[in-house]
Chain A
């Protein structure tokens, strides 16, 4: 497939691994921010072919994993109301709230629909004027422009029955939080290429400078990721603290101005809880006050919902790169993709799900046969 297979080329990949091997003189810890990168690394076995000195730790860049429990509970509550059509990206249906997920709501008769784009949700609102249509606007900077656009479009269409439940998070504050946490082992970052496609990478030089941590804007195909690792290792080995761009075919320094404009028109900064990590100041976006009529948290009485994070699982440490999924006692036994204990096992981009799907074999976890 054009523009994809080229970046999955085995010879190119081997060449990059060889170049990294020649350069590396001591162990390094590199964090890939994005869950999409984590999955590519595990899916293609990149961590297996890298020199042993490189430890990749998995960052918090999975929107499904870090969406706070109270927003899941609010989604479940709203979706359970009669007359509501609740629309969401597919992944979010499996994320457990305090005691229910959106699948359970659907099974109990709720109208929960998977959409591929928030604009589909706007269309559903147009087609169902007598129903309240709510879109679950989660994600990083990547999904924010289209989510913002859905609100602008609903406004332009004069829709009175469309609202969004917003839970947007941003990458740079999370990088600050990780780098300033006492147990931080991260020495270099692979920044999330899709986020940078929207936002550019002008926010990163101050972070790199402040913590002395090189950052490389990195894509998602095997060759992209290896190139990102190569540039990061070169900076680490030579003591240079810079921001490199290993994804220049997509990412520019400034990013997409029109996309950023749309985000700014609709959203404004806010503090945000990250599931498994905690409150990170100024790390999210919420709707601007002038769009309050499209805010599901205003339209529905959800502010008083009590949440309850159950015990178990180490997703918090995994999301901060402190632990690997197989270090969790529940991994692969009590906690599996269909019976997830934690958000990192729920999402197709979650680190635990990635390890479970692709590398269970390395950790002696054979599955129990289905009992008759």
Chain B
């Protein structure tokens, strides 16, 4: 093939030569991607916090730490900070989120959450009425979850040093006797169950920020899941190997965490994963994958196959699990990886969220 004269400049391009930029690992400064819940967050935690605080309860990498008291009781303790903007969104607010997030993390060890503490960082200028609404919402959520908020702290920072209101909650619960649930518990042959449609919370918050550019009736799923956990454990507690709530980073990131902790492979079936049409449509438009969008009222249960139907039935009979579905299974092959059978019949890797989730250009 001859070169056309107008393309002669291409001949001078050395395509075998260096053509690409140096890596930008963002090791020297925090960027938003470090808070995405994905791999950048994991790297930061491993390099900074695990390196400093290393102890077995922490490095077990579960949603809550498992602690043994001298009297032989097992406690679950977890802490979570909440920085959502806007403070109020369809289906929830920062107060409900702050209670549910921590209640759920404690519940995911199979514990019954009992007490919470709450720390408030208030920005100068925040309206007291706003704070009162948030606090009332926290009390309502605590009542629904059956927990008490028993201690707290308040700090005020100068205008511009915070975004209205940040809340940190810590929760303590007692792990039920005979229950042994952790992210490292998945076994080959187990069944993967999700408690309902994914992606509602992340899209609802984007919508509340006015970032969708269109209206929808998508509501956040923010909910305390300890009741749902009680229901599914009462079906067959011993058969439940893993519970986890797929919050930041979405279902994909949570399943990758479990696959690594348990050193197993997970095979999903794309057409079994429930996604509401409005969420799917919003994701299509923005170039997001619902597998990576945050949830605040869903859990993943990984269950021995013989008990899967009983656990699924128990979940479906609970208000927060009516749309629960089996979405895949645990396999011995490809340890540490999540694969998905696509609706078309191919197979692909479902990776952990890398950094910040970015909308596509076109």
Contact = CB atoms under 8 A, between A and B. Distances in A.
Interface of A: 1, 4, 8, 10, 13-14, 36, 42-49, 63-64, 69, 89-101, 103-104, 106-108, 114, 116-117, 138-140, 142-143, 176-177, 179-182, 184, 194, 211, 222, 275-282, 309-317, 320, 322, 334-343, 347-349, 356-361, 366-367, 369-372
A63 B287 CA distance: 15
Contacts of B20: 276, 309-316, 341-343
Contacts of B346: 44-49
Contacts of B347: 45, 48, 361
A140 B346 CA distance: 30
Given A44-B346, A314-B19, A101 B24 contact: yes
Contacts of B11: 182
A74 to B, nearest CB: 15
Nearest to A181: B10
Contacts of B42: 370
B273 to A, nearest CB: 14
B319 interface: no
Nearest to B265: A361
5 cross-chain pairs, A with B, having the tightest CB-CB distances, nearest first:
A45-B346, A278-B13, A90-B358, A310-B22, A313-B20
A310 B21 contact: yes
Contact of A348 (B9, B33, B287): B287
Contacts of B104: none
A194 B362 contact: yes
Interface residues of B, number: 69
Contacts of A91: 358-361
B21 A341 contact: yes
Nearest to B38: A338
B336 interface: yes
A176 B5 CA distance: 11
12 contacts: A14-B345, A90-B360, A91-B360, A103-B24, A106-B32, A107-B32, A139-B362, A181-B7, A278-B13, A337-B351, A349-B360, A370-B260
B59 to A, nearest CB: 5
Contacts of A93: 356, 358
Given A13-B344, A310-B22, A369 B362 contact: no
Contacts of A361: 334, 337, 339, 347, 349
Contacts of B354: 336-338
B359 A116 contact: yes
Q: Which of B17, B38, B280, B361 has the most CB of A within 10 A?
A: B361
B337 A366 contact: yes
B50 to A, nearest CB: 5
Contact of A143 (B16, B25, B362): B362
Given A316-B15, A338-B33, A96 B359 contact: no
B228 to A, nearest CB: 28
Interface string B26-55: 100111110000111011001000110010
Contact of A276 (B19, B213, B335): B19
Contact of B15 (A106, A116, A317, A340): A317
B29 A108 contact: yes
B348 A359 contact: yes
Given A45-B342, A322-B15, A361-B337, A182 B23 contact: no
Contact of B361 (A63, A322, A338, A367): A63
A8 B361 contact: no
Given A142-B362, A334-B23, A341-B23, A42 B6 contact: no
Contact of B344 (A46, A142, A343): A46
Contacts of B284: 1, 4
B10 A372 contact: no
A317 B14 CA distance: 10
A8 B344 contact: yes
Contacts of A371: 46
A313 B15 CA distance: 11
Contacts of A103: 24, 26, 31-33, 356
B22 A370 contact: no
A63 B59 CA distance: 41
A222 B345 CA distance: 11
Contacts of A116: 211, 213, 286, 359
A36 B362 contact: yes
Contacts of B211: 116
A136 B270 CA distance: 36
Contacts of B40: 338
Contact of A372 (B18, B54, B213): B54
A180 B15 contact: no
A339 to B, nearest CB: 5
Nearest to A360: B349
B19 A313 contact: yes
